Amino acid sequence: MAEIQVGIEGEGAPAAAEALLEIPGISGSYEVPTQREGTLAAVATIVGIVGGVAALAEQIRKWYQEWHKSHPGKQFGRCIIEG
């Protein structure tokens, strides 16, 4: 399986990346690159997925909805997936 990188931008980016990697069936790591122009970002690298691509897409959709619902003060602006 190829690695999938997820870029998350915004104030809550590091915490959102951490929550993404806590999803059962996903393994990987994240890093917070050097800030530029005041933008906070995190890049998560997913290296293991259990259940296939369709299951991953559903898990990410649920993660995104849960995150916005449960962290109103720590929103993130964008989530970009490359794979």
Q: What is the pLDDT of residue 59?
A: 79
Least Cα distance to 27 among 5, 10, 45 occurs for 45
Secondary structure (DSSP) of 23-70: STTEEEEEE-PPPBTTB-EEEEEEEEESSHHHHHHHHHHHHHHHHHHH
Q: What is the pLDDT of residue 12?
A: 79
Q: What is the pLDDT of residue 27?
A: 83
How does pLDDT run along the chain (83 residues), one tens digit per residue?
Answer: 557 788 888 777 888 888 888 888 788 888 887 666 666 788 888 776 666 667 777 877 888 888 778 877 766 666 666 65
- CA gyration radius, the chain: 12
Strand partners, 30: 44
Q: What is the pLDDT of residue 50?
A: 64
